[in-house]
Every structure is written in C-alpha cells, then in structure tokens.
Structure 1
Amino acid sequence: MGLMMALEIELGATLEEVAQTLTDLGACVKDIPHIHGGLLPGSKCGFGLTLHRYPMRVLAKGMKVNWTVGLTMTFHFRASNKMSSMAEIYPFIELFAEQHPHRFVLSFEYERVYAVRDEKGLDLRWPFSARGGFLARTAPFHTYRCPVCRLIRLELGCLIAYAWRMTNNREVFSEQQLDELLFGRGMTVQDYYIEQYPSGEMLCFRDSKGQAYDLHFNDDDMASAQMRRLKQLGVRIVTLG
C-alpha cells in the first residue's frame, strides 16, 4: 500500500536549493539542476520533484495563503515504512527551512497538514515520533531528540507494536490477541477511528482529552489485522479525498 507526503514550496524555490539540502543530509544527488527524483539515503523513501511552469495555488486542504506554489516535492513510501521515511522527511524540511527563506506546506496526501513554514517560522503541527509510532499535535518536535531518531515519545503505538513483537511472530492473529493489544489498557472501540484515502487507510486514536493521533505499525500484517478487527466491531470510518 503506497502513501504520499506532499511538500508545496512557494514560487522562487529552485531545484538547486532542494539538492543542497538533500546533499547535506547525505543523499546522492546527480544531474543538478535537472533532477526529477531519487531516494532518501536511509529509509529509501522515494521522492519526486516538479518545477511548475506556471504558479499554482496551495492544494493542501484548509490552507489559505497569499503565496503560490512554484515547486512541489512528493515523498512516496509503503505504510509499513512510514516511520523511517518520516524520520528523514522531517529533518529535511527543518534543514531546508534553516537554509532557505521560502514558505512551504507539508501535507499527507493533501488532506492533513503536518507542517507549515511561513513568516513566523516553521510550525510542526503533527510532530513525528519515529520510535513511538505516533504523529500528534502535541509538544515541540525538538524536545524529543535521541541519537537514533529525532524523537523518543513512547505512546500507544509503540506499546502495541512492542507487545506484539514480544508475544507473536505469526501472520494469523486470534481475536483474543487483537483485543488484548487494542483494548488491554482500557481503551474501547470508540477511542479508535479509521481514515480512508484513495491510496490506503490510516488507523487513528483519540485520547480522553480529545487529542488525535495517527497510529503506525512496522508490520503490515499486524496493522491490517488490527483494522479488520476494529471494522468487525463497528469502528467509525472517515472517508477523505
């Protein structure tokens, strides 16, 4: 299942500037200024670059800005590879914001805004936890640093993944196992919901304070089993895109 993040950068940004940031992060960039895409060095997340012939409006849902898009960078990855991909995408946009003055919007499939760079600076609206498996609109991104990943926020997604790794390695999961992983800490099916996009599905969670999270797994089979079980129990489905 393929997923996509879109980075819409304002008119005036150049491929050379993108290449500079990619190179500084360790990516091998060739054929400047004619690059059209490549792979991020660690996660092997694919990226594509489009230098628009004519300025475009920002496509990210809910964004009303007074600037136009001149360059779009898209990142493509499997659902099971999202954590490692985001652990490289966020450092990229942070460094790009430090090196260049251009405004930009990072969104998930143009449906959910993750980061905005404007006149006030870089606003990470869904700070990313590569270890925790969460994307949550809480706490500054830079407050959760570690040598391996950018964050060490250990939340529900990490606990579910850890519990699974400690108890099972098979691809067939019983309802009892799934219920224990999903509801073992007192959650109910009402605490979860599934967002459906044209390219796939995202399992989400809302805590007692109303905070929304995207819940990710490193195991495609486990993620699919969790969502199938929640659908059997009547979980709320939100269709986007």
Structure 2
Amino acid sequence: MEIEAGASLETIRHAVEKNASVVTLEKTSLEGYFSDSNGFFYFELVDPPSVVFAEGWEVDWLVGVMGAFHCPLHKLEQSWREIKCVMEELSLRSSMRFVLSFQYDSVYAFNEGEGVVYKKSMVI
C-alpha cells in the first residue's frame, strides 16, 4: 500500500486498531496483527517521499508511507475484509490518497480523494 506524503502513522494506527489485536507504533513505523486472520501489517515512513511504484499508476502525488500486508493463505478472505476496513477507515479519517497493489503489479484498490475504489478482489 502506497500512501500520499503527509499521512501520519497516528492516523494509520487509528485506521488499523479497529481490527487489530496488536499494534506497535514507533517513531518511523507501525506494525501489528489483525484479530480475525492473524495477518501481519507493517507501515513505514518514506523519507524522502518517492514516486508511486504501482505499475501503470501515474499520479501527481508522492508516497510518504509504504505499507505491506502479509496474509495467511488459509485466512485470505478474513484478511481481505480487514484490509478493506483499513482502507475505508483511512479514507474517512484523512484526505490522503493511496493505492493498494500486489507486488506493485496488480492494483486492487485506490483512493484519489473521493473514497475507496475497488478494481479487483484479493479473493476469487
């Protein structure tokens, strides 16, 4: 997940804690586990901000936070629900834009300031 520069880890913490069993906030990173899936998440500040790496995603904003989700395959459906909840919460709490992709190749969802748009599902 690539989030626009200016996003705070505190805002992301509020977005994940609704579905997280553990959240650890450090100075430049945030990590934890989701309650239902036990999937792991990790967010880190990017300094200096970088261009968006998601393939084919050309935008006029820079990435200030990079996030990753590690989902147990046997709980992929639960993980996808939890990730969607994080994106929805983030879009409600902040105007920061973001894009969620799989290995920067396939875009699953994005927010260009008007709410989350889903391009495809992680679960078939």
TM-score, L = length of structure 2: 0.88
1:19 aligns with 13
Distance in 2 between residues matched to 1:29 and 1:76, nearest whole Å:
15
Cα pair 2:49 2:63 within 8 Å, conserved: yes
**2:45 maps to what in 1?**
51
For residues 88 and 97 of structure 2, the distance between their equivalents in structure 1, rounded to whole angstroms, comes to 12
| CA displacement at 1:31 relative to structure 2 | 4.1
- Residue 88 of structure 2: which of 65, 83, 94 is its match? 94
Higher mean alpha-carbon deviation, 18-27 vs 59-68, is at 18-27
Identical positions, percent: 30
Matches within 5 A, 1:1-40: 7-31=1-25, 33=27, 35-40=29-34
Mapped partners of 1:81, 1:57: distance in 2: 32
CA distance in 2, matches of 1:110, 1:99: 25
Q: Within 1, Cα distance between the matches of 2:25 and 2:65? A: 17
User: Separation in 2 of the partners of 1:83 and 1:94?
Assistant: 17
* Contact persistence 2:20–2:33 (CA under 8 A): no
Cα RMSD of the aligned pairs, angstroms, is 1.9
Structure 1 residues 8 and 67: alpha-carbon distance in aligned structure 2, compared to 1, 3 A threshold? same
Instruction: State how 1:197-216 maps to structure 2 within 5 Å.
Output: none
Aligned-residue offset at 1:78: 3.4
* Distance (Å, rounded) in 2 between the aligned partners of 1:69 and 1:106: 12
Show the counterpart of 1:123: 117
Return 5+ residue gaps in structure 1 as ranges.
1-6, 135-241
The higher-RCO structure (CA 8 Å, 6+ apart) is: 2
Q: Deviations over 1:85-126 (max 9, x none)?
A: 112111111111111110000111111101110033321111
Write the distance in 2 (CA, Å) between the matches of 1:50 and 1:31: 10
1:85 aligns with 2:73: no
Alignment check: 8 A CA contact 1:26 1:41 kept: yes
Partner of 1:62: 56
Higher helix share: 1
Asked whether the 8 Å contact 2:20–2:32 carries over to 1, the reply is no
Give the letter for the 2:8 counterpart. T
Q: What TM-score do you get using the length of structure 1 for normalisation?
A: 0.47
Q: Larger Cα Rg: Structure 1 or Structure 2?
A: 1
Number of aligned residue pairs: give it.
124
* CA distance in 2: counterparts of 1:86 and 1:53, whole angstroms: 28
Return 5+ residue gaps in structure 2 as ranges: none
Note the C-alpha offset of 1:36: 3.4
